[in-house]
Amino acid sequence: MKIFSITAGALLALSLHAFAQAPTGAIKLGKVQPAVVKTPEFSVKSGVEKRSKPGDWLEIEVEFDTKGAEIEELTLEYTVQFENKLLEGQVTHVNIPVGRDHYSVMYVAPRSLEKLTGGKTLTHGSIQNAWIIAKIKGQIVDQAAFRKEPIPNLQKTPGMLLNKPETPFAPLYFDRYEATKSK
């Protein structure tokens, strides 16, 4: 009986600790902002100069607020409806302090966009919708969308959404975006 009491007490303490770190309402997702942005240009003063034409990237950004306590890990699952396909990706942010004005972002590369559009010019109409699901320890804590519509049942295309560190935008606006978990 004593072992059962100790085990039950330990399980209760662990479950309360886990709940305290990820309460409902700990995250409030704000506006989902899709945008078309050009490849950033950097200047290098050594080696052979190479020509390139800056391409168009699809950027999906979301602002969020946190309440309660610092969040050790927050996973944001992105789904983007683009040219009647669903692009899926996720990013895990770490060590997020309590407060407002936190940002997360993912990108679709120019060559991927060319493939999706069949070589046609990218327009804002190509971006049909974007949804973001916030999870802490696997539990959904909030959801947001560019347009308030349910996710349609369309062909899913994984691997086209890139985390900021996987893009030429990695060194830009470093203090704007929350740190990402290393893979």
For residue 85, give the CATH number of its domain: 2.60.40.10
| pLDDT mean across residues, the chain | 87
In a domain, 1, yes or no: no
In whole angstroms, what is the distance from residue 127 CA to residue 61 CA? 13
Backbone angles phi, psi at 3, to 5 degrees: -65, -40
Q: Is residue 179 part of a domain?
A: no
Average pLDDT of span 98-108: 97
Whether 30 is covered by a domain: the verdict is yes
Instruction: Say if 4 falls within a structural domain.
Output: no
Q: Which range marks the domain in which residue 152 is found? A: 25-40+53-166
Q: What is the structure's pLDDT at 11?
A: 41
**Number of domains forming the structure of the chain:** 1
Q: What is the pLDDT of residue 121?
A: 83
How many other CB atoms sit within 10 Å of the CB of residue 143?
Answer: 13
Q: What is the pLDDT of residue 6?
A: 46
102 found inside a domain = yes
Taking the C-alpha atoms of residue 22 and residue 137, their distance in angstroms, rounded to an integer, is 8
pTM, to two decimals: 0.83
Task: Calculate what percentage of the chain has a pLDDT beyond 90.
Answer: 69
Whole-number Å distance between alpha carbons of 29 and 64: 4
CA distances from 177 to 94, 100, 124 (A): 11, 12, 24
Residue 178 lies in a domain: no
Q: What is the mean pLDDT of residues 163-172?
A: 96
For residue 138, is it within any domain?
Answer: yes
Mean pLDDT of 131-149: 96
Q: Is residue 176 part of a domain?
A: no
Instruction: Give the mean pLDDT of 129-148.
Output: 96
pLDDT of residue 3: 59
Give the model's confidence band at 132: pLDDT under 50 very low, under 70 low, under 90 confident, else very high.
very high
Task: Give tens-digit pLDDT for 23-58.
Answer: 567 999 999 999 999 999 887 788 787 778 889 999
* Burial of 132 per CB tally in 10 Å (0-12, 13-18, 19+): buried
Contacts of 49 (CB under 8 A, 6+ apart): none
